[in-house]
Every structure is written in structure tokens, then in C-alpha cells.
Chain A
């Protein structure tokens, strides 16, 4: 009996630990994230060639790239420039109504002990795709690479950028 049970128990234990290890790393990028509206990066960044920072305008100035404010969407969609789809069905800036907010789902997260900031990376001339993959080809954003320390350090080593632990971990 033991000859079957013990290995089985071992397998269960290891796979269980593995499951715990995975579930306790919830900051890993997820490829199953569905957004509240069917927004396509392919159409915006790919087909229409809108520069990334037209919408993610804080990337060069801040630690966050920034998700575009609703006003930025409406800037094109509501003004008739495109004449196309008008996804906004009510007055988007009507302060009498509950705010017109879009609750996007996060694809990329980092744990609190990593202080990543977009600002220097943009100024170093990195393309967004370097980390985020060919976004202009994706209808729905899925991560291409696991953003872990090995990924950061590899690039930092190649480009002779800082490798001091506390520059990111503080």
C-alpha cells in the first residue's frame, strides 16, 4: 500500500506547494484579464497609429504611465472627428449623475516592495514594447513576458543601468 500512497502523497504535497507558490504571487501579469469594454489596442495603436503616450500621457513625467481619462476617449469619439463609433451613451461630464467611470482591470502589477517608475525608462529611450510586447497587434492586452527581477536585471546589465538593490527596493 505504502508503495503507492507515499509517492502519491508526495506528488500531492509538491503540487499543493506549487499551487500555493503560484497563488501567493498574485502580482504576476495575468493573461486572462477581460476589460469592461471591448477596447482594442490593435485598432488604436496599430491601425490608427496613435502614439502610446498620446493616451498614456504620464509615462514620461511620472512613475505611472497613466490610464487615459475618459475625456481623452471622448476627445475623439465624442467630437465627430472619427464619425465612427460613439460608445458614450450619456453626457459624460454631467456632474449631476454618478461619475462616468471606467473600471479597467489591471494586467500588470508589481508588489509594494518594488518601486518601478516609468519616467527614467521612457527618457532612456526604451520602447514601450520592450516590456509590454507588441501591444499594437493585440486586441486584448496579454502580457508577453513575466515582469520579474530577472527580466529587469537582464536589461539593466546590458544597458549598464543601476544594479543597486535599494534603487528599486526601498
Chain B
């Protein structure tokens, strides 16, 4: 990023082709051409500029590269230099753009009158009010000013500390709704250190997940998806050709559970006992590492009560499953156990499991020199809320957190905030907490501001603004620093956030090379090095085992962060609302997963609203009757239930936080069916394959045997309707379904790259969803061999014998000279014959003029036409990227290089499941992937003789009884 960013004049060629792309179809672009006054040497109008930064959508801290066109960011991709993202980001990261351009963002400072109504004021007035209240708070005494917000990096912490000390206070509360306290407590008990470990799933041959949805949420979903793909890739194990063995123990079949070899249903809270039982078997069978240095006798007495037979009796988990897990875990050459949830005894058990098998330092690493703890402990948070209620705080600044929404009722967040005389809220889209604030200040989006991240030892991410602010917002750090200065602070870490961040980096720089280091960091998006794992020892003295107990007779409510909406902060982004949750395929709503036997007992039917009552409160949710949840559990995702937070989030579903106790995501619940129903909406048709070869799988045993016996060709004798065309180039894809996790990053990337509109819940109900690529989900029928769930990307297959092409009366659907099924928007008259004739159902029709409420339209990619009503559209294999690369190659007078073109979906895939390339080039990486996996290849619906350009590689599963 040039020094000039802040000064950069954004007077630009405002009317370059497509800049007015929000106006669909034939309306004119702007008639004005406004050139730069002074050209920016780094900007070529009409060509993208790239800036490295960091993603702030979750705590993983992925590095990103932002594509900027004419001063506005249009696409985010992973930063290949960053070891965490390694070039890919998830759906939430892709959708950060819709947080930036959200039409409901606060545009100007607002002040709340006593009656509750909001009035717009100027920044000067707002700052004056803030300074006035801060001044009075200082006079009132010590610790009268408090900060409450999410951890936002080391530099931001410095700023908050400086702000508070300038006002005689030390009340900084860094609040994370989904914290890591149980894991830290467990690491403390077992290893005597409170930092969070990192995992190397790719170094393992066996994986046990106890309710850890590491592919969806948690520490680092992108990184772990990448590692899990390597783990699941067929390779030589001791026993021969194999894939990693994976087990998931937990109350519901999440996406992560579905991608494991075996899902073992367990009642919520029973995971710890099962983990200890696995430990019991490991020690009894001596499947432990000889040199782990662990006192096995001490452990043996601790786990004595957990023999598989009695554990099975108590929990209902088959003893066979426990011994199978133990055997796979203990005998593996590298294994890793992971845990999710809030049970510190489960986290303890997982640490011990990894330690006794010698996997700490191998698959579970503690790194020295890592970040100090980011978040406040739950006790500190509770104490701060109490202080507010007791009237000990006069001014509270809230930034990056939504306590009124995410705090369980026992913390009494709303009541506490009410007792604070002056609450200042800094943020984007006004949420439930903003509704209680006295002063609302529009804050920069992370893509508009400076910040730094320190996700782990060796990884320092630098976040820099990638464009000028969309609204009249300011950086939260700048607001705090200005306030501190106004209050007469003698020493500040800097005048602006940029200065603080820069000072932080210069302090890390090698002798004499400070400015170079800073420049490099801005170009590379940070500073990355390999950290060595620390030597840690298991301390058996402090260990505690859970008390053996039977599963509760009552139903247990269990909640979990939604893969896209997280704890609720993703709900304001329409892409994340409209992309179906991979397993349930539900959009724009939340649901209560109920086992069929439980539903029958309670008299609950599909879509019926059930009332979930706990000692803390009551919510309702429509029932999703599914055998993929434990009969003793009612599971509802977090994320919905907002009463504010913009048009896309407001008044949608219910908020599970309202019925939980602090520090726990499960609780005893009473379920009452109500008379009302609400239909759960999914774009999916059938959940069963019904004999169709849409997606295929084979067992790893069969692969090891050398594949299935040769079948006759599925298709009839190759039949050509037209003369063969001599292709110079023919674009194709290879998609490894075994690597795909279902995370839908590809779907979000496609929405961003190709200006795919969102149709809303009503639109999805009417079958009008527009996604060009989707994750199809199927379940194998009972007694049918197959994986727990089929998850496979479906997009235009670019058939060589395309059924869509010959039925178009106006030649809008035609075959290009590079083997694509072209779709010419300006020729299309909307007969929809092509859509009818497509066996893959990947063509989408625009029933209406799509809308992008301002300023969401600023995200639109100017290289792609915005389609109007009455036009058919579909996946183009990112033809704009192909065009760009072909033109560049032609100008440079050289052939196209393999890998030069990468479609948005392939680029986004964390597991690198999608390869794109030229089918005429046998040496292309895409074709080599086909050749290397000959035993696994299939084409979707091959028997139709459509000759797709996409070759899938079969998903792999384990034959029954071998898991």
C-alpha cells in the first residue's frame, strides 16, 4: 500500500464501463468522465489493484488479498504468503464485503434523546458530547470509564489501554461470545500452560473429534479443512493404501461429523466420559507411547471407572465403538484428538489422549512466543457487568461486540447497560446493543482501517485499509486516541491507529531495516515465520476425571455456532443467509433438530414450531425431524433471532443465547409443541439419490483392491449429433469429492465474482435461487453402502453434448470454440427451454430485475455483466478470468501457462478440491489429477452421454464394520 492511500484522491474515471453496473441491462452508464487530478501511480483505471490485508470475520486471522477496481474493493481472496489461509478464505471471509457495503450501516453519528429517538449529529458535536461525559467521569473518580469489545489485535489493545489510563481506569473487557476458557483451563491442568495449541491434522492417521466442528467454526476452519483434505487423501499407511481414519462423537451429525468415517451419536455432555473410556482402553491395552514420560499407573487408577462395558451402559454408546476408536488411535502412526464445547473435563481428556500416545509435539503443538491471552475470562466479564449494574461506571465504550444479543440472560446485559449513564457504541450495522446506546458512532469496517493480528507464534498479520471509507465513519482506534488526547493524556502510543500499528511493526523490525520491514509487511500482508513447538510435559497430579454418570433422562438443549452466521454476527450479510447450511440445506432461518423417536414421543411434526423452555427463558423454533441428532438432544444453531442488525437479520428465527446459562452451550430443556408452524426453506429437492449417479462414492477397501470390476460403458455407443470440432483448447475441471468438506466457500466466492443476485426467502421458496454453484447434499438410503453424507459441488458441467444448446431458439446458448456452453445474455429471450432441458439443474432464470440496495452495488464486478429480468444465466467457468489471461498471453506473445487461469470457486476452495485447466493439455495439473486418480473418476449422470467437462473423483468411505 502506498503512503498515499489516505491522501489518495478518489476522483476517478467514475464512468468507466460497468461502473454504473448496478443499472441492469440496457440503461446507459454515466455520461460523465471524470479523470484524476493527480494520477495514482499504482492505479490503472480499468485494471485491478491488489492489497494484502487480514480478515477480521473470525479469530483465525487469515491473510487476504483484496481486489480493488477504481477505488472500491470487489473481491477478497486468501493471501498465498500467509501460512494460515494459504491462499483461500471461507464463505464468511468472502462475505466480509457485504459487511463493508451493508446498506444498513450507520452513516452518521447519532445521539439518543431521553425519549429514545435518535437524532443525527455532526462528528464535532459527537466528539464534544463524548469528551464532555469523559471529562465528568474523570472528575467522578477512578475506574468510572470502561471499554467492552471483541479482541481486535495487539495494537488495538494498546489503544484501549491508553484510552482507559488517560481516563483513570483499567476496566478493559475483551469479550468473546464463544470463548476458549474451557480449553485454556484444561491445558493449564494438564500441561501447566494456558495458551491454545495448534493442530497438525495432516500429520495424523487417525482423528477423534469429540463435538469439535473444526471444519466449520472454531480456531481456524480454512487451515484445518486444508489439513483434513491431506489427511483424507488416499496414501500408503502401515496397513496399505488407506485414508485417515476419523471418528466423530457428539450429539448431532454436523458437517464435520458427516465428513468423518463414522459419526457416533452421544448425548450432549457424555463426550467426556467416552473420551475417558477411550483412554481406559488405551492404557489397558498398552496402546501408548513408550517414551511419553507419562505416569501410566496414576492414569490407570483415574480411568478405572471407564471400562467400555460400563461406559456403554451409562451412555448408550456401543462398547465396540469405544474400542474401535482406541485401537485406531493407539495403533496409528500419528493421531490427533480434538474437542469442542464447554466441558473442561472433555478438553482435559483430549489433552491426555494426545499426550499418552506421544502426539503432543507432533499433531498437537504448543508454541512458545505466542500471543498473550486475547479475551477476558468469564469471571472478569461477569464482574464488569455487575459493576455496571452497581452504578460504578459512567461511560462505557462498546466496539466489536454485541453483548445484549450474545450474553446469556444471567449476565443481565441489557439491564447492566441501562444502568450506565452514557453508553457509546462504535460499529457498522446498529445491533441490539446499539439500540441501548446513548451515542452511536459509525466505525470503520476492518477493510477500511489499520490493525494487526497475532493469531499464533510466528504469524503476525498486518491489516491495512483497502479503500476509502464508504460512509462518514472513523476508525474506533482513532476515536479512542482522540478522546484520550482531549482528556490530556501525557503519553499516547500514537495519534492515529496507523501510527500505533506502524510503531508496533517498527519495534519488531531487524536492526537498521525498519522501513524496509514495514514496506515488506504492507506488501506481503504481514510477517510470517515457522515457530518451533515447545516441549511440554503432562502433569498427572492435577488431573481430574469426570464422575461416571448416566445420561440425563430429560432432553438436553444444545446449540452450536452456525457455519456462516457464527454466533450471530454473520446474519446481516445476505450471501450468508442465502447459502444453504451444508447439512440441513436450510436458508434464511434457524431450526430445532429433533430425532424422529423423540418427535413421535412429543407429538411434534415437521416444521411445527416448538417451544423450548429452560430455567433461563423460552424460545421457539420450527422442528427439523432428523435421525442425525441424538434422541436425547434438541439442537438449534446460533446466529438468528436478531431484533435489530439490519434488514437481512432482523426478526428472523430465534436466539438460543436467550435460554442458556453463562459459559455453556447446553442445558436441560422442556419441549412443548405449539399449534403454529413455519416452513423450513431449502432449495434442495430430494435428499435421496434414488439410483441416480449424480454423485458417487467407493469404499477405500475397494480402491485398495484396485477398483471395481470393469463395468460396461454406461453411456450408449458414443453418439455424435454434429461433426467433431477440432478444439485447440478445451476447458475442464477435476473435482475431488473426497477432499470437499461442503464448506461452501466456493459458493460465496462465486456470488462475489459473478454478480449473482440474492433472492431472499420468498425467492428461494419459489425456486428462484440464483447460485451458479451449489453444494448438493444427499444421504445414502438405509442399508445402502456409502458415506454418512454426500456433499458435492454442482455447477454447469460445460457438456460437450449439451442438452441446453440445441433447444435454444435464438442461439443464446451455444458451444464456444474452447468447449464452453456459452450463454449470451443480450441474445436470450427467456424461453427457459435450456433450463428445462438441463439434467443438472444449474441454469438460473432472472424473474425480476435483481436489486443491490446501495451501496451493496459497489461490490459488483465490472468485468461481469449484471443480468436483467427475463435472462437466463449460469456458470461460465469465470470466462472473464479466461479472457483476461488469454489477452495477457497474446500481448506478451507467449502460450497460456497452466495454472494462469483459476476460477473463483477453485481459488476459494480451502481443501483445493477443484482444479481447472485445459483438457487438451495432458500435462496440465488438472489432467494429471485425473490421470493419477483413474480408479476414482466419474462423470455426473454419465449415462446421459452429455460428456461433461467436469470429472469428479469419487468420495471414499469405509465398509461397514471396518471403521
B33 touching A67, Cβ below 8 Å: yes
B26 touching A24, Cβ below 8 Å: yes
Q: Which residues of A contact B626 (CB under 8 A)?
A: none
Q: Which residues of A contact B863 (CB under 8 A)?
A: 115, 170
B37 touching A112, Cβ below 8 Å: no
The verdict on A18 contacting chain B, using a C-beta distance below 8 Å, is no
Checking A69, A110, A117, A162 against B39 with a beta-carbon cut-off of 8 angstroms, the contacting residue is A69
Contact with A along B640-654 (1 / 0, CB 8 A): 000000000000000
The verdict on B876 contacting chain A, using a C-beta distance below 8 Å, is yes
With A26-B27, A68-B35, A109-B28 in contact, is A169–B45 under 8 Å at CB? Answer: no
Q: Which residues of A contact B18 (CB under 8 A)?
A: 112, 115
Interface centre among B25, B26, B35, B817 (most CB of A within 10 A): B35
| Interface hits, B1-50 → A, CB 8 Å | 7, 9, 11, 13, 15-18, 20-21, 23-39, 44-47
The verdict on B354 contacting chain A, using a C-beta distance below 8 Å, is no
The verdict on B826 contacting chain A, using a C-beta distance below 8 Å, is yes
Among B272-280, B320-328, B587-595, B879-887, the one that faces the other chain is B879-887
Tell me the smallest distance from the CB of A29 to a CB of chain B, in Å: 12
Checking B20, B36, B826, B883 against A167 with a beta-carbon cut-off of 8 angstroms, the contacting residue is B883
Q: Which residues of B contact A99 (CB under 8 A)?
A: 9, 11, 37
Q: Write the chain B residue with the least CB distance to A102.
A: B35
State A116–B17 Cα separation when bound (angstroms): 8
The verdict on A156 contacting chain B, using a C-beta distance below 8 Å, is no
The verdict on B766 contacting chain A, using a C-beta distance below 8 Å, is no
Q: Write the chain A residue with the least CB distance to B864.
A: A170
Among A1-9, A57-65, A79-87, A127-135, the one that faces the other chain is A57-65
Q: Which residues of B contact A117 (CB under 8 A)?
A: 46, 887
Q: Which residues of B contact A102 (CB under 8 A)?
A: 34-35
State A95–B8 Cα separation when bound (angstroms): 11
Tell me the smallest distance from the CB of A58 to a CB of chain B, in Å: 6
Tell me the smallest distance from the CB of A109 to a CB of chain B, in Å: 6
Contact with B along A117-128 (1 / 0, CB 8 A): 101100100000
Q: Which residues of B contact A16 (CB under 8 A)?
A: none
The verdict on B570 contacting chain A, using a C-beta distance below 8 Å, is no
A101 touching B34, Cβ below 8 Å: yes
Q: Which residues of A contact B32 (CB under 8 A)?
A: 103-106
Q: Which residues of B contact A26 (CB under 8 A)?
A: 26-28
B825 touching A169, Cβ below 8 Å: yes
Tell me the smallest distance from the CB of A120 to a CB of chain B, in Å: 5
With A58-B45, A106-B33 in contact, is A64–B16 under 8 Å at CB? Answer: yes
State A50–B845 Cα separation when bound (angstroms): 50
B21 touching A112, Cβ below 8 Å: yes
State A90–B45 Cα separation when bound (angstroms): 26
Interface centre among B15, B33, B876 (most CB of A within 10 A): B33
The verdict on B142 contacting chain A, using a C-beta distance below 8 Å, is no
State A102–B31 Cα separation when bound (angstroms): 13
Q: Write the chain A residue with the least CB distance to B816.
A: A164
Q: Which residues of A contact B822 (CB under 8 A)?
A: 164-166
The verdict on A70 contacting chain B, using a C-beta distance below 8 Å, is yes
Checking A100, A113, A164 against B826 with a beta-carbon cut-off of 8 angstroms, the contacting residue is A113
Q: Which residues of A contact B23 (CB under 8 A)?
A: 112
B816 touching A123, Cβ below 8 Å: no
B35 touching A70, Cβ below 8 Å: yes
Q: Which residues of B contact A27 (CB under 8 A)?
A: 26, 28-29
A61 touching B883, Cβ below 8 Å: no
| A-B contacts at CB below 8 angstroms, number | 153
Q: Which residues of A contact B817 (CB under 8 A)?
A: 162, 164
State A62–B45 Cα separation when bound (angstroms): 7
Chain A: interface size category: 35 or more
Q: Which residues of A contact B28 (CB under 8 A)?
A: 26-27, 109, 111
State A79–B296 Cα separation when bound (angstroms): 86
B31 touching A109, Cβ below 8 Å: yes
The verdict on B890 contacting chain A, using a C-beta distance below 8 Å, is yes
With A26-B28, A58-B45, A120-B890 in contact, is A165–B824 under 8 Å at CB? Answer: yes
Q: Which residues of B contact A24 (CB under 8 A)?
A: 26
B17 touching A64, Cβ below 8 Å: yes
Q: Write the chain A residue with the least CB distance to B822.
A: A166
The verdict on B676 contacting chain A, using a C-beta distance below 8 Å, is no
B865 touching A119, Cβ below 8 Å: no
Q: Write the chain B residue with the least CB distance to A36.
A: B32
Q: Which residues of A contact B721 (CB under 8 A)?
A: none
State A93–B826 Cα separation when bound (angstroms): 43
Contact with A along B172-185 (1 / 0, CB 8 A): 00000000000000
The verdict on A155 contacting chain B, using a C-beta distance below 8 Å, is no
B825 touching A113, Cβ below 8 Å: yes
Q: Which residues of B contact A164 (CB under 8 A)?
A: 816-818, 822
The verdict on B315 contacting chain A, using a C-beta distance below 8 Å, is no
State A162–B876 Cα separation when bound (angstroms): 17
A66 touching B37, Cβ below 8 Å: no
The verdict on B814 contacting chain A, using a C-beta distance below 8 Å, is yes
Tell me the smallest distance from the CB of B901 to a CB of chain A, in Å: 14
Q: Write the chain B residue with the least CB distance to A71.
A: B38
Tell me the smallest distance from the CB of B824 to a CB of chain A, in Å: 5
Interface centre among A105, A110, A114, A115 (most CB of B within 10 A): A115
Q: Which residues of A contact B38 (CB under 8 A)?
A: 69-71, 93
Q: Which residues of A contact B814 (CB under 8 A)?
A: 165
Q: Which residues of A contact B29 (CB under 8 A)?
A: 27, 106, 109-110, 112
Q: Write the chain A residue with the least CB distance to B29.
A: A109
Q: Which residues of B contact A115 (CB under 8 A)?
A: 17-18, 863, 865, 880, 883
Q: Which residues of A contact B30 (CB under 8 A)?
A: 106
The verdict on B282 contacting chain A, using a C-beta distance below 8 Å, is no
The verdict on B866 contacting chain A, using a C-beta distance below 8 Å, is yes
13 contacts between A and B (CB under 8 A): A58-B45, A64-B16, A69-B37, A99-B11, A101-B35, A102-B34, A109-B28, A164-B822, A165-B816, A165-B824, A166-B823, A167-B883, A170-B876
Closest 4 CB pairs of A and B: A64-B46, A62-B46, A63-B46, A69-B36
Other A-B pairs beyond A66-B35, A110-B17, A111-B25, 20, CB < 8 Å: A27-B28, A63-B47, A64-B13, A68-B35, A69-B37, A70-B35, A70-B38, A71-B39, A101-B11, A104-B33, A106-B15, A109-B29, A115-B880, A115-B883, A116-B17, A119-B891, A165-B816, A166-B876, A170-B876, A170-B883
